[in-house]
Amino acid sequence: MSKLNAKEYKQFEDIKIIDTDGSEYWSARDLAQVLDYAKWENFLKVIDRAMLACKNSGFSISDHFPDVRKMVEMPSKPRKNEKEIGFPEVRKTKKIIDYELTRYACYLIVQNGDPRKEVIALGQTYFAIQTHRQEVADRFNQLDEDNKRLVVRGDIRQWNQMLAEAAHNSGVITNEEFAEFQNSGYMGLYGGMTVDEIHSKKGLAIRDKILDFMGSEELIANLFRISQTESKLKRENIQGAQASSATHYTVGHEVRAAIERVGGNMPEDLPVPEKGISQIEREQLKKLKERKKPLMLDE
């Protein structure tokens, strides 16, 4: 996502409403304004088409387009003679209809909006990305712990390669410098504990990798550390092995502080899984092979 698009997409984030239970929704009235619909009646036609698309997709309209009634003030200016003698301005209220739209409902609305509007194209991209992210999150949440670990560990492998490249471009060249760089990130996230100390605390064998013996929660914290360090090194054009290590430590420390603020468990206190990632991968590969049935050829 470019910086320009990120700035433009922010208008959709700005009108997002977080309910008391943590769920998110968008007010149809607010969305109409952002999508440049001056007349509510015209926007209602778009909502109707989106509702039809929702129904045809097999989803409940009431789940994604719940309607609500709101009272709004309608200013009423006093007559000239009333204004002269100091009568206060009379405000009348009016009941209007609104919709508390889910992300999917917003996605359907922009798909059915006026394609000539540039903001509609922006909305289509924004809500398509957000809807996809939610679908990925939903699928991830349905996985058991072992498969969650496999997914996140795979992501970490890719991000670690990107981090190594970014660190090299920032001046982390020798093996000793890279070891110090990696150690600094762990120390920031694990409250000063080095790689060796984390390895020892987990009770691992010499050949075991600490990332392979983390639960999904601990892996996700490390994934955030890795991805944000890679981004910061490139974004701020940090140069020098010492500065890069300091950056890695700072990012790790900030991730730890965020966990603490929300009342989460510190990574060093999380349970150590009995099975390593390699064992889980071997077991799953074995299951896949066992499922394969021989071809039934005619004799």
In a domain, 138, yes or no: no
Are 229 and 172 contacting, i.e. CB atoms less than 8 angstroms apart? no
Give the Cα separation of 11 and 123 in Å (integer). 10
DSSP string, 90-145: EEEEEEEEEEEE-HHHHHHHHHTS-TT-HHHHHHHHHHHHHHHHHHHHHHHHTS-H
Per-residue pLDDT of the chain in tens (299 residues, 90 and over written 9): 444 355 667 889 899 999 888 889 999 999 999 999 999 999 999 999 999 998 988 889 999 999 998 776 765 655 555 555 555 555 677 788 999 999 999 999 999 988 888 899 888 888 888 887 778 778 888 889 998 999 899 889 989 999 999 999 999 999 999 999 999 999 999 999 999 999 999 999 999 999 999 999 999 999 999 999 999 999 999 999 999 999 999 999 999 999 999 999 999 999 999 999 989 888 887 877 676 555 444 43
Instruction: Check whether residue 105 and residue 212 sit in a common domain.
Output: no
Element (H, E) at 69: strand 67-76
Give the Cα separation of 168 and 161 in Å (integer). 11
Output phi, psi for 3, to 5 deg: -65, -35
In a domain, 291, yes or no: no
Instruction: Check whether residue 224 and residue 260 sit in a common domain.
Output: yes
Give the residue from 97, 129, 161 where a domain finishes: 129
Instruction: Check whether residue 261 and residue 170 sit in a common domain.
Output: yes
| Pure H helices in the chain | 3-14, 28-34, 40-56, 61-64, 80-84, 103-111, 118-141, 145-169, 175-189, 195-201, 216-235, 241-261, 277-291
Instruction: Check whether residue 173 and residue 268 sit in a common domain.
Output: yes
Give the Cα separation of 183 and 201 in Å (integer). 15
In a domain, 140, yes or no: no
Q: Which residues pair with 73 in a beta bridge?
A: 93
Instruction: Check whether residue 239 and residue 194 sit in a common domain.
Output: yes
Instruction: Check whether residue 247 and residue 173 sit in a common domain.
Output: yes
In a domain, 257, yes or no: yes
In a domain, 91, yes or no: yes
Instruction: Check whether residue 184 and residue 220 sit in a common domain.
Output: yes
How many domains does the chain divide into? Answer: 2
Task: Name the nearest CA neighbour of 127 among 24, 231, 20, 22.
Answer: 24
Instruction: Check whether residue 179 and residue 106 sit in a common domain.
Output: no
In a domain, 237, yes or no: yes
Instruction: Check whether residue 116 and residue 154 sit in a common domain.
Output: no
Instruction: Check whether residue 167 and residue 281 sit in a common domain.
Output: yes
In a domain, 84, yes or no: yes
Instruction: Check whether residue 14 and residue 83 sit in a common domain.
Output: yes
In a domain, 116, yes or no: yes
- pTM for the whole thing? 0.62
What domain range includes position 215? 145-286
